[in-house]
Structure 1
Amino acid sequence: MTVQHEAHTGGAGEGGELLEVWIDQDLCTGDGICVQYAPEVFELDIDGLAYVKGGDDELLQSAGATTPVPLPLLLDVVDSAKECPGDCIHVRRVSDRVEVYGPDAE
């Protein structure tokens, strides 16, 4: 129930599209810039790598795990993706999984 609710209350990008974010831990440098920008969305684990957090504040550690981008934090999440030295933060539309911010965005 919570996950379904989160999907409907996730962030919206331009045009009102729901967005989600994920981190490629293979490229993460552990600088923690993302945590500085959006600690509600990102957290460093004891392995020194950043992960996204679920609505219950739990780290989502499975490869490719995504979390909705809360609308009030959209700019912080986008800045995290832009400033990340590892180019490992990916923000994509939920509807078609097209990356809109991050290293694979057009």
Structure 2
Amino acid sequence: MKVWIDQDLCTGDGLCEEIAPDVFFGMDDGLFYVKETASNYGTEKLFDGTANPAGAEGLARFPDSSLESVIEAAEECPGECIFIDVGE
């Protein structure tokens, strides 16, 4: 499964990071992004502030065990900017 944030809709509230810190993180620009951790996939997909792809280009995988918290983050997001792709 994959998730991404539409930064044009992100309000910077940070509820996503509070609910699922293993999937979401905030940057100095006040917006939140998705990350793909080495502990889950053997590689790190966490971008620095100068090269962090926004929107669908920032699509990151997350483990099945995080699905419930990712869904909760999407439901609680005031900007309604979190999109989940459950694949096939």
State TM-score, norm by structure 1.
0.67
8 A Cα contact 1:27 1:87, kept in partner: yes
Identity of aligned residues (%): 44
- State how many pairs are aligned: 77
Instruction: Give the SS at the match of 1:47.
Output: coil
* CA-based RMSD: 1.5
Q: How does 1:1-106 map to 2 (within 5 A)?
A: 19-55=1-37, 56=44, 58-59=46-47, 61-63=52-54, 64=56, 65-95=58-88
Instruction: Give the SS at the match of 2:10.
Output: coil
Higher Cα Rg, which structure: 1
Instruction: Give the SS at the match of 1:34.
Output: helix
Gaps of 5+ in 2: 38-43
Question: What is the CA distance between 1:38 and its match in structure 2?
Answer: 0.6
Gaps of 5+ in 1: 1-18, 96-106
Asked which structure has the greater RCO (Cα within 8 Å, sep 6+), the reply is 2
How far apart, CA to CA, are the structure 1 residues paired with 2:86 and 2:65? 16
